[in-house]
Structure 1
Amino acid sequence: MKRVSQLTALALAFGLACASSRAADTIQALNFQQLQQAHGTAIDTRPSAFYNGWPQTLNGPSGHEPAALNLSASWLDDMNDKQIADWVKQHQLNAGTPVALYGSEREVQAVEARLRRAGLTQLTTLSDALQEPTRLQRLPHFEQLVYPRWLHNLQQGRHVTAAPAGKWRVLEAGWGAPKLYLLSHIPGADYIDTNEVESEPLWNKVSDAQLKVMLEKHGIRHDTTVILYGRDVYAAARVAQIMLYAGVKDVRLLDGGWRSWSDAKLPVERGTPAKVQPEPDFGVTIPARPQLMLNIEQARALLHRQDASLVSIRSWPEFIGTTSGYSYIKPKGEIAGARWGHAGSDSTHMEDFHNPDGTMRSADDITAMWKTWNIRADQQVSFYCGTGWRASETFMYARAMGWPNISVYDGGWYEWSSDSNNPVVSGERGPESSL
């Protein structure tokens, strides 16, 4: 019998499987090499934490298969058929695309069923998924976005991957009085009001001296690991980014915020936080990382450059000047020369950066979104929004993605628009407007 090439055998496998088992409408399982030869796509059906790099077991494989997409089975209840179809279209999949799924049997079956309803037919499993650690990909700093079970295990004193090096603290961040916190919060979490890190008239960060007092009051030194979460992820991110600027070495976010903890049905407690033992000294001069927070002149210097991007993390209606986005900000428009980094439907949403469960969208998706507007990892990149919250969330994602030269322009649109001499632009426009 003649020998046939692997590619020919693969084609025969596809053809025979589709012809002989139409009732099951399935094809033979593929290994990673075969999937590549067939120009197919792998889909990771596990939660995004494991896709990003957290091992499912203490010494298990870390990351996802190269170029794999993430469509977690845990998202399916939050996605209607149109949203699944839009996801398929966005990732340029079609009925003839070979697609190999991996994850648990239950996860794979659930995702497969929804993809078939969306019109994909060449669905199978990846037979050697996660079996070759050296080829797996992960977020360069996945540990900066923790997930609920990891935090729970840490609290229980169990061994965890990427454990804090020393003392650690959990804080819930929110604006104003801790009304929801008092009803239910993560056990042992302290509460920090965002008014402790930013103030009127422009909602810029408070002085360095005030930051020092605040951090010491909350029992935080520069070498304390701080794990932040919020009812709104960007509230926690705002505090996190300012702490990093101040000099806290290890600041992490609970990916997906309070919702992710609640969805995981982990223990909660109510009432006021336990009394915190203040630290006598933060331990380093604040700011230890001044480069993470830009002023207006530093932000202006990034405009219209190929090696830098001043990035607007605002909704499209805000970016084109249909609305200011805020009741207390009257001027509409955008910084002339800024690049659009996406955000969400309005000034209180960040859907463009979130999976259906509120966790961070895949780094590949975010990178592709930014590339359209000439925003790249090899540039000096500074994010801004109206007053810093959305920009800080994006900063934390870019940090987890390993972008090396990032910052937040603290004043944002509020500060820029308060001076009529600053150049402003409105109306529909594309990436070329920032060149």
Structure 2
Amino acid sequence: MTHLISAADLAHEIEDVVVLDVRWALTTANTPAGRKDYEAGHVPGAFFVDLDTELAAPAGEGGRHPLPYPEVVQAVLRRAGITEHSRVVAYDGKDSYAAARAWWVLRWLGVSDVRVLDGGWAAWTAAGLPVSTEEPADRHGDVVVRPGQLPTLDASSAATLAREGLLLDARALERYAGETEPIDPVAGHIPGAVNSPTTEWVTTEGTFRRDLAEHWAHVTDGADLSDRPVGVYCGSGVTATHEMLALAELGVDTVLYPGSWSEWIRDPSRPVATGRLPG
């Protein structure tokens, strides 16, 4: 089973799926630009979903992008006409980082049939497919969300997994190593975590690599992980889901630490490792 769909296949199935536009970006004024991009043109029939306010709760003790309030997401999904049996496709601008967050959140809430448009909006337009500026009317879906359908890690279980299993840090190597930190107030990583930048799982076109298995073998140094749990974190629980999507394509089960680094560092008693090795 693949969790991805090509632009051509989405165009073929467009009448049978619910499409969510999850483009996510910041303008120079530090205001969301995803909505502006959506209004300028989107996949016909797509509903816009804001990652910061609808796929995450407000920043705080749980990090920069805590798990969303279920009732907020339910309202969004009902607006898009989603029911218990809906097939859903999410896309973002190109690399599928935000779309992967939607893929994970919806499945965590019990929406089982969710796929991601591989290559996002860039792939759709590159294929010369139709573009719309019309926002669809409320479709009055009746889905009932059930949070907790996917397991998660908290800080304690993430620390344990780093020692006893495999905990992947999906951020850039420089942030993992503590050499730079442009977003969070503390640099470094969870001791024992292995760096695996999510940017290395996609091509320059924004589509997932076709040699995912080979790349996974490189990340793990060829180790047999069949009996070891795998967890993933990043800065705030967004790009980690992208890596989880890549691994899901390989049949590798993973668990998200939603609070990620931005939650970990809120407690100064938690250890911080630096350097380019797990530590």
The TM-score, its normalising length taken from structure 1, stands at 0.57
Q: Aligned to 2:98, which of 215, 235, 239?
A: 235
Corresponding residue for residue 370 of structure 1 = 219
| 1:105-136 Cα distance to aligned partner (Å, 9 max, x none) | xxxxxxxxxxxxxxxxxxxxxxxxxxxxxxxx
| 1:360-383 Cα distance to aligned partner (Å, 9 max, x none) | 012223212221285835421111
Instruction: Kindly indicate whether the alpha-carbon contact (under 8 Å) linking 1:334 and 1:424 is maintained by their aligned counterparts in 2.
Output: yes
- Quick one: distance in 1 between partners of 2:254 and 2:202? 20
Is 1:426 matched with 2:277? Answer: no
SS at match of 2:187: coil
Unpaired runs of at least 5, structure 2: 25-31
- Quick one: distance in 2 between partners of 1:252 and 1:239? 9
Aligned residues: 264
| 1:228-272 Cα distance to aligned partner (Å, 9 max, x none) | 00014101111111111011011100011111111111111124x
- Quick one: distance in 1 between partners of 2:202 and 2:212? 11
The 5-angstrom pairing of residues 408-423 of structure 1 reads: 408-423=256-271
Is 1:280 matched with 2:142? Answer: yes
The 5-angstrom pairing of residues 184-195 of structure 1 reads: 184-194=41-51, 195=53
Which structure has the highest strand share of the two?
Answer: 1
Give the deviation of 1:401 after TM superposition: 1.4
| 1:67-124 Cα distance to aligned partner (Å, 9 max, x none) | xxxxxxxxxxxxxxxxxxxxxxxxxxxxxxxxxxxxxxxxxxxxxxxxxxxxxxxxxx
Question: What letter is aligned with 1:367?
Answer: W
- Quick one: distance in 1 between partners of 2:224 and 2:104? 20
Q: 1:153 to 1:312 in 2, by over 3 A?
A: same
Corresponding residue for residue 391 of structure 1 = 240
- 4+ runs deviating over 4 angstroms: none
Q: 1:222 to 1:393 in 2, by over 3 A?
A: farther
Corresponding residue for residue 27 of structure 2 = none
Unpaired runs of at least 5, structure 1: 1-140, 158-166, 344-349
The 5-angstrom pairing of residues 69-80 of structure 1 reads: none
Instruction: Kindly indicate whether the alpha-carbon contact (under 8 Å) linking 2:19 and 2:88 is maintained by their aligned counterparts in 1.
Output: yes
Corresponding residue for residue 191 of structure 2 = 336
The 5-angstrom pairing of residues 188-337 of structure 1 reads: 188-194=45-51, 195-198=53-56, 199-201=58-60, 202=63, 203-232=65-94, 233-271=96-134, 273-282=135-144, 286-291=146-151, 293-305=152-164, 308-326=165-183, 329-337=184-192
Is 1:382 matched with 2:231? Answer: yes
Give the deviation of 1:413 after TM superposition: 0.5
Give the deviation of 1:412 after TM superposition: 0.5
Instruction: Kindly indicate whether the alpha-carbon contact (under 8 Å) linking 2:173 and 2:276 is maintained by their aligned counterparts in 1.
Output: no
Instruction: Kindly indicate whether the alpha-carbon contact (under 8 Å) linking 1:234 and 1:390 is maintained by their aligned counterparts in 2.
Output: yes
- Quick one: distance in 1 between partners of 2:222 and 2:59? 32
Give the deviation of 1:419 after TM superposition: 1.0
Is 1:401 matched with 2:250? Answer: yes
Q: 1:220 to 1:336 in 2, by over 3 A?
A: same
- Quick one: distance in 1 between partners of 2:130 and 2:78? 28
Q: How high is the sequence identity, in percent, across the aligned residues?
A: 27
Q: 1:200 to 1:147 in 2, by over 3 A?
A: same
Q: Which has the larger radius of gyration?
A: 1
SS at match of 1:382: strand
Q: 1:300 to 1:153 in 2, by over 3 A?
A: same
Instruction: Kindly indicate whether the alpha-carbon contact (under 8 Å) linking 2:18 and 2:80 is maintained by their aligned counterparts in 1.
Output: no
Cα RMSD for the two superposed structures: 2.0
Question: What letter is aligned with 1:287?
Answer: P
Question: What letter is aligned with 1:196?
Answer: E
SS at match of 1:252: strand
Question: What letter is aligned with 1:188?
Answer: G
Give the deviation of 1:388 after TM superposition: 1.4
Q: 1:222 to 1:375 in 2, by over 3 A?
A: farther
SS at match of 1:171: strand
Give the deviation of 1:214 after TM superposition: 3.2
SS at match of 1:236: helix
SS at match of 2:161: coil
- Quick one: distance in 2 between partners of 1:267 and 1:170? 14
Question: What letter is aligned with 1:168?
Answer: V
